[in-house]
Amino acid sequence: MDTANGQTKKQKKDKKAKKAQAPAALPAITMDHVIAAIRASSDQAAIALLQEAATARLAELTKVERPQIGTGMKVRIVDIRPVVLKGLTGTVQQPNRTRSRWTVLLDEESTQRLRYHPNNTRWNIPASTTRFLLPGTGVPVGCLQPLEGEQ
pLDDT by 10s per residue, the chain, length 151: 555 566 677 777 776 666 666 566 777 888 888 888 889 989 998 888 888 888 888 777 766 555 688 999 999 999 999 999 999 999 999 999 888 899 999 999 999 999 999 999 999 999 999 999 999 899 999 899 999 876 5
Question: What residues does 95 pair with on adjacent strands?
Answer: 102
Give the list of residues 6+ apart from residue 130 with CB closer than 8 angstroms, or none: 108, 111
Amino acid letter at 119? N
* Domain positions in the chain: 9-61, 74-146
Q: Are the C-beta atoms of residues 113 and 88 closer than 8 Å to each other?
A: yes
Q: How far is CA 22 from the centre of its chain?
A: 35
Q: Is the pTM of this model over 0.75?
A: no
